[in-house]
Structure 1
Amino acid sequence: MRFSVTIVLILVLSAVGLTYEIAAGRVLAPFFGTSLLTWTTVIATVLGGFSLGSALGGIVAERPRAKALRDVRTALVATAVLMAVSPTLLGIVHASGARGTGGMMLSVILVFFPASVCVTIPSPLLAKLAIEARPGREGSSLGFVLAAGSVGAILGAVLAGFVTLPLIGATATFAVCGAAALLCLPFLRGADRGTPGVTIAAAGFVAFAGIAGNPACQYESGLSCLHVSQRGPEVRLISDGTIQAAEIVGPETEGVDQVDLALSYTDWLWARMNRDLAQDASVLFIGGGGYSLPTKLLSSRPAARAVAVEIDPLVTEVVRRHMPRASEMIERTGFVAPADADEDGRLRIVHADGRVFLNETEGRFDAAVMDAFSSGSVPAHLVTVETFARLRQIVDGPVYVNLLDAPDGPLARGVQAILRDVYPHVLAVRGEVNARGRTNVLFAASPSPLATLPPGPDGYAPAQIADARAFTDDRGWVGHR
């Protein structure tokens, strides 16, 4: 085999391996969310598979050449099938009852470990062939082999994050990975080709999986896995398996002038905002979600203004398609603008990371609502002392925060510690605890005293939260569920 061919094959298989790893993290989201824990499990499992595959591949490389090539071809066929079937296997494991952290770890190992082993088995033989192709230049040959593996991994990461996952989705990405593995087969000559029908069947299966396989997400981008569901008059926006927003629609409430909030936590936040804010308030919303609260604010206060910072343009697009109240408000008063724009309108939508916006904005606001989520938790960089210190600089009035955690969980404790460090007046309430032991924990923090509210939504009561260390950029929330 020519040296250049071995290098290209190593590069391609390394790219396939990294693309598969990143796609694995994405396809987990609808079932188990995304967090530091899920990504740690995926990376550790896939790297473990790569390690075992390299060891097994080394044994294969020492066999007689014809047998080694046959084994490598078999490994590539297995790689293609296992990668293409990964989303289906994950759904089966989840349907069988895998839940929680333990279920997530078991699912990752059962679904993604075997393909990670198989995709790496060819590498030692290819490295051996590369060195043999240039007698007397073993050192530089080995260096090129290692470089090809690294470059392939970089290409795979870039392709997954910027091309395949945003454009074709996770299910098709797995099928593309399988197809790439099969395309390596014609270059592995000099062995008994085995049964051609097996290879043809594998190719057909991979093609079928990519075309006919159920997408992991109804709407998918590099940042979000979204589903929209409707139960009676209620439209729900679900991101990575967690309800992000809901809107009640019906013929009796046509138009945005009558906006009913569907989620109980938004009722409490609105009651707080309605009590605290002036008619012409300017409010910053970090996290667009379903744009329910901005819609309620602007419909109730014709002189109010809002800036909604949403990291993913796809969320805004889906809201405009499926949530008529928010969509009508966006059409009537909203416009999308860059983070540094100074246009003055009732609803300015900024597609940017919330922390980046806070760092760069020169605007001032009367209040802020922190309601940004990545799957079932708040991004760690949005719950630090530095974040809320910056909010205190640009927001003259109260700040409202929504979390999902246990009633006295580590996230709630850390955020309360932050707010008490930055604001003199802090109150917290919590909703009803669900079957997973989690609930909405809501905070209001202000430079001035907060007035007492009348009884709020059913199930919300003052939260008893213990003291804890405040999160910082250096030692932040790790996202464990």
Structure 2
Amino acid sequence: MTFRGNDATRPRALGDAATILLASALGLVVEIVAGRLLAPHVGMSLHSWTAIIAVVLGGFSLGHWWGGRLAEGDRRTGHRRLAWLLAGCAATCLLAVPALRLAAPVFDAEGVHPLVAILGLAIAGFFLPSLLVGAVSPIVTKLAVEEARAGEVGRVLGRLFALSALGAIAGTLLAGFVFVAWIGSTGTMLACAAAYGLMAAGHAVAAARRARSIVASAGVAAALLLPLGIGRLPALASACDAESAYFCIRVVDIEPVVGQPARLMVLDHLAHGANVRDEPGLLVQSYLHLADEIVAHRGLPASPSAFFVGGGAFTLPRAWAAAHPGGRFTVAEIDPAVSAAARRDFWLEEGEALRIVAADGRVALQATAAVPAHDVILADAFLDIAMPVHLATREWHQAVRARLKPGGAYLANVMEDKREPRFLFALARTLMMDFPVVEVWVEMAEAEGRRVTYLLLASDTPTPAGRIVSRNGPSRGWARLPDAVVRQRIAASGVPVLTDDFAPVDRLMTHLVWSREGSGR
């Protein structure tokens, strides 16, 4: 990619190219970070990403139109306008996190539809940065075209479009694989603000033509020091205790509720396990309590083997490892930061009984030999409130059954609608294709709102009771829904069998996600 021209125009062409490249990269960095910053408020799902992409593209589009109107004028005017636009990008990046925190109570208020909340928060934090950076490229393009030699306008335009695409690719990769994981979402927004500030200072120098060294020094100092200073303000403090490429991880002290040292792990906006320090077997969350009780009711060998898909706080693996020190418990947790938090803050101790695999649960299980090896396989992994698609398909269930011992059980935790659990029915129908026994369990106590946590059990052997009362821990009872009723409702619902080729989990969950009481915001 060459930059032709005389000695006077070549630096200008390089400056135009650098501006397009960096502006495109930073615009995409902000878009990727938007998903992480919205996650503690509304989760990270297909719906939140759809809203973010729509808002950012809307900002880019309106910015391109506005930038075309601002592009008129000579080069000096263009540099001056670019300086103001890039300074605005720096300011709006700095204000994005405080803006989200100010907007969150408004959009989390009673009666606000979840779709309105997601769109509102995305607009509050990320529309203005996208609008302003969108206005940059038309101005730069006009300046570059004016500098082009006769007959080379097409070549110049092609170069700028290519650099814009390369910048977008670089920004996406750096945000997803480097920045968020290493400096966090708030730190990434501050770094973007600093980069925008440096670019603004450079264009201010190009527009001023006088006292360049003074202006440049002041601009560089402001660009670097202002975000660093502002970043210390409480309004820009991270909402996460730890942040990874996958989750915003928060540790909540629940000792006042439990009555002894205990902590709750929150990933993005959902609870993923509550551990009691001195009683690993005390299970605070009902669905984990049910999984423990139902497995005990079905009977476990003295040295059981279990495979867990998803770790979270490692509540149940920790409890079973303590109760069965001769057992073999493997946990596939894709996020090393979650495992580190469990060790650091949730009293998790690995040993001969408990082993952690840092991998996706399906990948980890399928990497083992397809022979009966486990008494229990439990899927406890969520994207927002929905199960990941690849853990809901018939191909996954076939891999599970091949690795279950005779009489073993596959358990899947499902958050669904109390009235019309369409995804639950689809998942149960899919399991029925490969397991002779499929049971749906739910707590007998009436749950508030629409959202209910079900436990699906698939096996070759039925559970010898239709009701279970807790043996220890909180006093609870659970019931198995009548098989005939479940099958009748599955047939009436018209839900599909879920496969790797077709698994519309998000569509089946939309009725719950779009309800305020179901979304869990």
Selected match of 2:289 from 249, 252, 267: 267
Are 1:224 and 2:247 an aligned pair? yes
Q: Which residue of 2 aligns with 1:377?
A: 386
Give the CA deviation at 1:426. Answer: 1.1
Structure 1 pair 266–70 and aligned structure 2 pair: CA distance change class (3 A): same
The separation in 2 between residues aligned to 1:270 and 1:244, in whole angstroms, is: 16
SS at 2:468 equivalent: coil
Aligned to 2:268: 240
Tell me by how many angstroms 1:208 deviates: 2.9
Equivalent AA in structure 1 for residue 362 of structure 2: R
Q: Deviation at 1:202? A: 7.4
Whether the 8 Å contact between 1:176 and 1:210 is mirrored in structure 2 is no
Contact 2:71 2:139 survives alignment (8 Å): yes
Distance 2:18 2:208 in 1: 22
Report the CA distance shift for 1:262/1:125 in structure 2 as closer, same or farther (over 3 A): same
The 3 A distance-change label for structure 1 pair 24 and 246 is: same
CA gap of 1:410–1:199, structure 2 versus 1, over 3 A, is farther
8 Å Cα contact 1:433-1:439 kept in structure 2? no
Match of 2:499 in 1: 472
Looking at structure 1, the residues matched to 148 and 75 of structure 2 have their Cα atoms a distance apart, in angstroms, of 18
CA drift of 1:284 comes to: 0.8
Contact preservation (8 Å) 1:239, 1:375: no
Contact 1:15 1:154 in 2 (8 A): yes
Kept after mapping to 2: 8 A contact 1:365/1:395:
yes
State whether residues 31 and 241 of structure 1, in contact with CA within 8 Å, keep that contact through their aligned partners in structure 2: yes
SS at match of 1:280: coil
Tell which deviates more after alignment, 119-128 or 467-476: 467-476
Displacement after TM superposition at 1:227 (Å): 0.4
Amino acid paired to 2:66: L
How far apart in 1 are the matches of 2:93 and 2:167? 18
* 1:23 and 2:50 correspond: no
8 Å CA contact 2:94–2:190 kept in 1: the answer is yes
**What is aligned with 1:400?**
411
Give the deviation of 1:462 after TM superposition: 3.9
What SS is found at the alignment partner of 1:237? strand
The one of 277, 285, 290 equivalent to 1:249 is: 277
Unpaired runs of 5+ in structure 1? 334-344
* Aligned-partner residue type, residue 191 of structure 1: A
Cα separation, partners in 2 of 1:312 and 1:190, compared to 1, 3 Å:
closer
Secondary structure of the residue aligned to 1:22 is helix
Q: Of 200, 210, 218, which aligns to 2:231?
A: 210
Q: Which amino acid aligns with 1:108?
A: A
* Residue 52 (structure 1) aligned to one of 54, 57, 62: 62
For residues 3-39 of structure 1, the C-alpha deviation after alignment (integer angstroms, 9 at most, x for no partner) is: 1221111111111000000000011111110111001
Shift of 1:200: 7.7
Q: Which residue of 2 aligns with 1:446?
A: 459
Matched, 1:357 2:364: yes
**Contact preservation (8 Å) 1:426, 1:443:** yes
Whether the 8 Å contact between 2:107 and 2:116 is mirrored in structure 1 is no
Q: 1:119 to 1:160 in 2, by over 3 A?
A: same
Query: How far apart in 2 are the matches of 1:409 and 1:209?
Result: 47
* 1:417 alignment partner, one of 423, 429, 432: 429
SS at match of 1:223: coil
Aligned equivalent of 1:115: 129
Q: Give the whole-Å Cα distance in 2 for the aligned partners of 1:285 and 1:405.
A: 21
1:142 and 2:165 aligned: no
The answer on whether the counterparts of 2:66 and 2:135 sit within 8 Å (CA) in structure 1 is yes
Seen in structure 2, the aligned counterparts of structure 1 residues 176 and 381 have a Cα distance that, compared at 3 Å, is: same
Residue 366 of structure 1 and its aligned partner are, at CA, apart by: 2.2
Partner in structure 2 of residue 288 of structure 1: 311
Contact map agreement 1:77 1:199 (CA 8 A) in 2: no
Amino acid at match of 1:323: F
Whether the 8 Å contact between 1:70 and 1:193 is mirrored in structure 2 is: no
Kindly state the Cα deviation for residue 436 of structure 1 after the two structures are TM-superposed.
Answer: 5.4
Matches of 2:160 and 2:448 in 1, distance apart? Answer: 51
Contact between 1:366 and 1:398, CA under 8 Å: does it hold in 2?
yes
Query: Alignment partner for residue 439 of structure 2, among 424, 427, 440?
Result: 427
1:368 lines up with 2:384 in the alignment:
no
Residue 404 of structure 1 aligns to which amino acid in structure 2?
Answer: M
Question: Kindly tell me: are residues 185 and 454 of structure 1, through their superposed partners in 2, closer, same or farther at Cα, counting changes over 3 Å?
Answer: closer
Stretch moving more, 91-100 or 178-187: 91-100
Mapped partners of 1:123, 1:152: distance in 2 = 12
Q: 2:248, 2:127 → 1: CA distance? A: 23
Q: Distance in 1 between matches of 2:55 and 2:136?
A: 19
- Cα deviations by residue, 1:299-334 (Å, 9 ceiling, x for unpaired): 22233211110001111111111112xx23x2xx2x
Q: Following the alignment from structure 1 to structure 2, what is the Cα–Cα distance between the partners of residues 187 and 309?
A: 49
Q: Does 1:156 align with 2:171?
A: yes
The CA distance in 1 between the partners of 2:229 and 2:384, in whole Å, is 30
